[in-house]
Amino acid sequence: MKGYPIDIREIPIFCINMDRRKDRWEWFQSQPGVKHLPHLERFSAVDGKTIDILHDPRISMRTKNNVLNDTRRSHDEIENSGAIGASLSHSSIWKKFLEEHPEKEYCLVFEDDSNVPADIVQLLLQKSADLKELPGGFDIWLLNCNFLTYKVKPLSNSWTQPGNFWGFSAYIITRDGAKSMLEDAIPVEMHIDRLANMKCELGLMKVVIHNTVRIGNVLGKSDIQLKGCKICDVPETLHEVRMVHTYFLYGVVAYAALISVLYSRSSL
């Protein structure tokens, strides 16, 4: 078990911010909780608009095709350069954490739209004491995310494994977690938060949330999720497909019965 509680004043902290978005960095720094983070470092994000999508070896062939042809068939897949930049930014931070802070077990990562509560130091000190409930520790502790409630897995009184989650605006990652994510982050094949979700669901790493910690983020224009994907809103598993098919057949039968009744009445 790694050391706990976690004092974030003693670990490396990064905020991902693009050079052309000085407004976001200024907003992030203006939050009252930031003054309590002595080791906070602004990380110059990879700007997706500057990437040579076709020839960059860090990008998978599927992702190249999706971005250049503006297509995708799954919410996991990437179809814009901003999401590639985000993925490369997060993976670059993990590499920096491992190489430049070999003595540190944890690293805290923010995206520049994340909230930083005034009491964040005490909040995480207090809640991380509950890690005693997780003998095996964690790889990533999400401080803010979205997830499907019916897919969550309770781990203890205080901790839950989120199901089908998305959102990487704030999290604490361990050295083992960083190493695990770097094994599959390059070439970029999917959204970086969805990669973590997939590895978690396959049992390859442990991603957790504390049941009482959600620091939130500011909703606004995203450089990653530029638009929706209605064609991606389809059943994800064969079981769900069968359920949709069954409900469709029930609907057809019910409709046919209704037409039959109405026809019979009109013939009287």
72 & 158 share domain: yes
176 & 67 share domain: yes
Position 225 pLDDT exceeds 60: no
163 & 192 share domain: yes
72 & 188 share domain: yes
225 & 243 share domain: no
Alpha-carbon span 54 to 61, nearest angstrom: 9
Alpha-carbon span 194 to 200, nearest angstrom: 10
* Number of compact structural domains in the chain: 2
HSE-CB for 3 with a 13 A CA cutoff: 10
Model confidence pLDDT, tens digit, residues 247-268: 556 666 666 667 776 767 666 5
Position 74 pLDDT exceeds 90: no
224 & 244 share domain: no
Domain range enclosing 73: 8-231
Name the residue among 230, 188, 152 with its Cα closest to residue 66. 188
Alpha-carbon span 68 to 80, nearest angstrom: 8
Q: Which two tokens stand for residue 46?
A: 């990879």
173 & 131 share domain: yes
Residue 67 neighbours by CB under 8 Å, 6+ apart: 53, 59, 78, 79, 80, 81, 84
Q: Which of 6-10, 51-55, 155-159, 254-258 has the lowest mean pLDDT?
A: 254-258
260 & 177 share domain: no
Model confidence pLDDT, tens digit, residues 126-163: 999 999 999 999 999 999 988 877 778 999 999 999 98
127 & 171 share domain: yes
Average pLDDT of span 97-111: 98
Q: Percent of the chain at pLDDT above 70? A: 81
Average pLDDT of span 17-42: 96
Give domain status of residue 71, yes or no.
yes
Give domain status of residue 249, yes or no.
yes
Higher pLDDT, 20 or 243: 20
199 & 129 share domain: yes
246 & 129 share domain: no
Give domain status of residue 128, yes or no.
yes
134 & 23 share domain: yes
Model confidence pLDDT, tens digit, residues 106-122: 999 999 999 999 999 99
Residue 202 sits in a domain whose CATH number is 3.90.550
Alpha-carbon span 114 to 179, nearest angstrom: 24
Give domain status of residue 96, yes or no.
yes
Give domain status of residue 91, yes or no.
yes
Model confidence pLDDT, tens digit, residues 192-222: 999 999 999 999 999 999 999 999 888 654 5
Alpha-carbon span 144 to 116, nearest angstrom: 11
Average pLDDT, the chain: 87
Give domain status of residue 88, yes or no.
yes
Give domain status of residue 2, yes or no.
no
Give domain status of residue 3, yes or no.
no
